[in-house]
Amino acid sequence: MKKWRTPEPLVLLFAVVGALLLLFIAVPIVATVAVGHPGTLFAPLGDPDVRSAISISFGAALISTGISCLLGIPLAYTLARIEFKGKGVVQSIIDVPIVIPHTIAGITLLVVFGRAGIFSAQMSALGLHLEDNLLGIVVAMMFVSAPLVVNSAREGFEKVDERLEYVARTLGASRGDAFLSVAMPLSMSSIFTGAIMSWARAVSEFGAVIIIAYFPKIIPTLIYEENLHQGLSQSLPLTAMMIVIVIALFIAVRVLIGAWKHRMEES
């Protein structure tokens, strides 16, 4: 039987300090959910405006994440495998949307893609416009969340021993085949994590979206509007419901990823 070992003082101190941060995060979340009656937790779903906002938020975030993965994974692999001049500049540019205020992000997108933007003529010729349009929501979400995919995937590729790809190539695989058969599967956990965080960041985006597209309303816009016009009592039920939904989705995804990783380890 394994004996209990008394934690070292430093470890115990770190645990206590870490617990303070954990409580700082957990208490507001639990308190918000606990305020409402369990039987009425999902009552806001009876409102068609709420259902519409949720579907737009989740759907636009899914599209945003898909495009971010399609474009970001090749970029991440390039950054992980190739050394070139200006690489640090490229990585810094990728991180910029994370650090700038997101209302500023929305304005910068309008400067380029808006009706009076740099590419306004090209956008009009294609029949595309961002203002008060689903496309604008997707673009705003993608701008602020794509870096999470790139950075997580890049870290995953960097952990893969490049010699494994060389072995695959000596056996006749092309660079693309080695990427698909070696680098991608071994980095999939990091890619999934980046995609999940990107989707979650996109769903929660408010600042950039509201600058570009107040309509159709996403769920953060609807909650903001309810709180602004009706007060906390009206916005609280919707907030509590969204917390529960997001937590449930995160748990489900984590379980699926854990099962996938376990299957990969067994195989």
Question: What number of H helices and E strands is found in the chain?
Answer: 12, 0
- C-alpha to C-alpha distance for 253 and 251, rounded to whole angstroms: 5
Q: Is the pLDDT of residue 106 over 80?
A: yes
- What is the percent of the chain where pLDDT is above 70? 96
Q: Is the pLDDT of residue 211 over 70?
A: yes
In which domain, by residue range, is 149 found?
45-266
Q: Is the pLDDT of residue 177 over 60?
A: yes
- C-alpha to C-alpha distance for 96 and 87, rounded to whole angstroms: 15
Q: Is the pLDDT of residue 267 over 80?
A: no
Is 4 part of any domain?
no
Q: What's 121's domain CATH number?
A: 1.10.3720.10
Is 27 part of any domain?
no
- Name the region of 44 (left: φ>0; alpha: ψ -120 to 50; beta: rest): alpha
Q: Is the pLDDT of residue 40 over 90?
A: no
Q: Is the pLDDT of residue 222 over 60?
A: yes
CB 63 within 8 A of CB 138: yes
Predicted model pTM: 0.90
Q: Which of 109, 115, 118 is nearest to 141 (CA)?
A: 109
Q: How many domains does the chain have?
A: 1
Q: Is the pLDDT of residue 92 over 80?
A: yes
Is 21 part of any domain?
no
Q: Is the pLDDT of residue 216 over 90?
A: yes
Is 216 part of any domain?
yes
Q: Which residues contact 80 (CB under 8 A, 6 or more apart)?
A: 154, 157, 158
Is 68 part of any domain?
yes
